[in-house]
Amino acid sequence: MEFEEIYKTYWDRIFRLCMGFVNDYDAAQDLAQETFIIVWQKLETFRNESAIGTWIFRIASNTCLRQIEKEKRFPKSDLPVHLSEEKQASIEPQIQYLYKCIAELPETERIIISLELEDVKQAEIAKIVGLSEANVRVKIHRIKEKLTQKFKENGQQ
Amino acid sequence: MDNNNIDFKDLWKKQTVNQPNKEDLMARLKQFKKAGLRSLWKTNILLFATSAFIVFIWYYYQPQFISTKIGIVLAIVAMIMYVGVYNGLLRIYKDIDTNQTNQEFLQKLILIKRKQQFMQSTILSWYFVLLLAGICLYMYEYASRMTVFYALITYGITLLWIGFNWFYMRPKQIKKQQAKINELIVKFEDINKQLD
């Protein structure tokens, strides 16, 4: 698969995954770019042992996990105020609320639910995260319950 | 209302997305590479300049004693070791394979952080020991030409300075580095536990 094709196919999906992780438009954009830089550099080493989607999602989720270190180095409050609020203002509050709720989950749950919402198969999610399929299924079920609960409490239906 | 009434998938996909064109991405890639190269240059130029300065002293003043020469070599070795290890650590960290499961990746991160923690304190101590030995040896030739009184004062001040660095600056530096790394290790371990 050519890089350009991958880029076009996966950018949106990777961006949403990152957005679910950080719930910050600019930071998500950065993380998605970082992911594609790695994809671009490593594309030659990709062997068709796994599906390309699994490969890309692994890189993306690991990139999200790794940025935790940067987060610690530059606390958010120290950064200049971004214009991200403005960009998001047009989005329905329900969508904003969903991303906010997801970004508040424990880190690995953010990744799991994001992949599920991206229609990644549970067997693939298991391969990306490193859990058994059964475990993934249980986790997805619980996370969805948690989200539904939050939506109900907030009256967002 | 039951669960099924909220279509999370539908909401999820409605998030506005702005796909930058490929040229933007490539520009970013170049920037990335440049930044990496720049930091490499910065540390290495500093190292090179200091070493050149020391070699210049060697050449210009023509030290007679072997102790002076050993001192110079020790000081250079100390600096090369420090920069070398530091560069190496950074490289390991940057080169972690991102095509692993999240669980494996987290374990790798923890492992690397532990290694980093150990290396930093050990290497920092070695750096100080080598530098101390180097400076003391280096000074001997010049001190031997002074009167005993001035030689004592010279060594006294130098040792005081080194003592301050060893007993105050070094532990402080190590503590600062360790606190940062420990915090990260705890965080990564917490995340890894989520997968148990």
pLDDT tens track for A27-73: 999 999 999 999 988 888 887 777 899 999 999 999 999 988 877 55
Distance from CA of B170 to the nearest CA of A (A): 22
At residue A73, the pLDDT reads 54
| Residue A62 vs residue B49, higher pLDDT | A62
The per-residue DSSP string of B26-44 comes to: HHHHHHHHHHHHHHHHHHH
Residue B33 forms part of a structural domain? yes
How far apart, in whole angstroms, are the C-alpha atoms of residue A157 and residue A94? 8
Q: Do B193 and B170 fall within a single domain?
A: yes
Inspect the interface and report whether the beta carbons of A11 and B17 lie closer than 8 Å: yes
* Domains in chain A with CATH codes: 3-153 (1.20.140)
What's the token pair of residue B148?
């005993």
Inspect the interface and report whether the beta carbons of A127 and B9 lie closer than 8 Å: no
Residue B57 forms part of a structural domain? yes
Residue B8 forms part of a structural domain? no
- Give the chain B residue nearest A157 (alpha carbons): B6
Residue B35 forms part of a structural domain? yes
Minimal Cβ distance to B6: which of A46, A106, A148: A148
Q: Do B73 and B54 fall within a single domain?
A: no
pLDDT of residue B63 exceeding 80: yes
Q: Which amino acid is at B48?
A: F
pLDDT of residue B77 exceeding 70: yes
Q: Do B118 and B56 fall within a single domain?
A: no
Residue B137 forms part of a structural domain? yes
pLDDT tens string A96-154: 899 999 999 999 999 999 999 999 999 999 999 999 999 999 999 999 999 999 988 88
Count of domains forming chain B: 2
- Give the chain A residue nearest B98 (alpha carbons): A59
Residues of A in contact with B15 (CB under 8 A): 16, 19, 91, 95, 99
Q: Do B106 and B185 fall within a single domain?
A: yes
pLDDT of residue B33 exceeding 50: yes
Residue B6 forms part of a structural domain? no
pLDDT of residue A88 exceeding 60: no
pLDDT of residue A14 exceeding 90: yes
Start-end of H helices in chain A: 3-22, 25-42, 52-73, 84-88, 93-103, 107-117, 122-129, 133-153
How far apart, in whole angstroms, are the C-alpha atoms of residue B24 and residue A30? 12
pLDDT of residue B177 exceeding 90: no
How far apart, in whole angstroms, are the C-alpha atoms of residue B140 and residue B122? 28
At residue A107, the pLDDT reads 94
Q: Do B108 and B177 fall within a single domain?
A: yes
Minimal Cβ distance to B19: which of A12, A130, A131: A12
Local structure of B179: helix, strand or coil: helix
Q: Do B29 and B105 fall within a single domain?
A: no
At residue B88, the pLDDT reads 79
Residues of B in contact with A152 (CB under 8 A): 1
pLDDT of residue B110 exceeding 50: yes
Q: Do B37 and B98 fall within a single domain?
A: no
Q: Do B133 and B186 fall within a single domain?
A: yes
pLDDT of residue A18 exceeding 80: yes
At residue A81, the pLDDT reads 47
Q: Do B72 and B168 fall within a single domain?
A: yes
At residue A91, the pLDDT reads 60
At residue A156, the pLDDT reads 59
% of chain B beyond a pLDDT of 90: 21
How far apart, in whole angstroms, are the C-alpha atoms of residue B191 and residue A110? 11
pLDDT of residue B45 exceeding 50: yes
Inspect the interface and report whether the beta carbons of A98 and B106 lie closer than 8 Å: no
Q: Which residues lie below 8 Å from residue A111, measured CB to CB, with a gap of 6+?
A: A17, A21, A61, A64, A128, A129, B102
Q: Of B27, B62, B97, which residue sits at a domain end?
A: B62
Q: How many CB atoms lie within 10 A of CB B183?
A: 13
At residue B117, the pLDDT reads 85
Residue B175 forms part of a structural domain? yes
Q: Do B49 and B134 fall within a single domain?
A: no
> Residue A12's pLDDT band (boundaries 50, 70, 90)?
very high
Interface ipTM: 0.83
Residue B177 forms part of a structural domain? yes
pLDDT tens string A100-109: 999 999 999 9
Q: Which helix (H) or strand (E) holds B101?
A: none
Instruction: Note the pTM of the prediction, 2 decimals.
Output: 0.79
Question: What residue numbers bound the domain in which B23 lies?
Answer: 19-62
Low-confidence winner among A49-53, B37-41, B185-189 (lowest mean pLDDT)? B37-41
| Residue B182 vs residue B24, higher pLDDT | B182
Q: Do B109 and B179 fall within a single domain?
A: yes
Q: Does A52 touch chain B (CB under 8 A)?
A: no
Q: Do B58 and B140 fall within a single domain?
A: no
